[in-house]
Amino acid sequence: MKQTEKRITEYTLKEQCADSLPSAQIKVKILSEGGQIWIQPDGFGEKCAADGEGWSIGIEIWQGRLRLIVFDDINSEDPQIINLENAKETGRLNND
């Protein structure tokens, strides 16, 4: 896929906790566009987007570092940004 191409796929997330009702599920769209990936759980969004239009979770490379972007509050324009560099397998400590 070229970096300028746009692709949307749809999935269904299902409850994973054995102690909860198994009927809980959420439809999710995943958008790949411009070298970024965005996730849109049905019924979740971001402050500056109309209902059904927001992409509340993203993953990208910024300044050479992989990061996760999460709009975790519908009433705030500011996302939580999580740098994933410490999750690299090359950073694993050897516990010999």
Reduce the DSSP state of residue 89 to 3 states and report it.
helix
Q: What is the pLDDT, as a whole number, of residue 41? A: 98
The vertex-65 CA angle with 88 and 37, nearest 5°, equals 95
Confidence band, pLDDT 50/70/90 cuts, at residue 85: very high
The confidence score (pLDDT) of residue 3 equals 58
pTM of the model: 0.85
Token pair 């740098």 is found at 83
Sequence spans of domains, the chain: 6-88
Which percentage of the chain shows pLDDT scores above 90?
81
pLDDT at 18: 84
Judge whether residue 95 has pLDDT over 90.
no
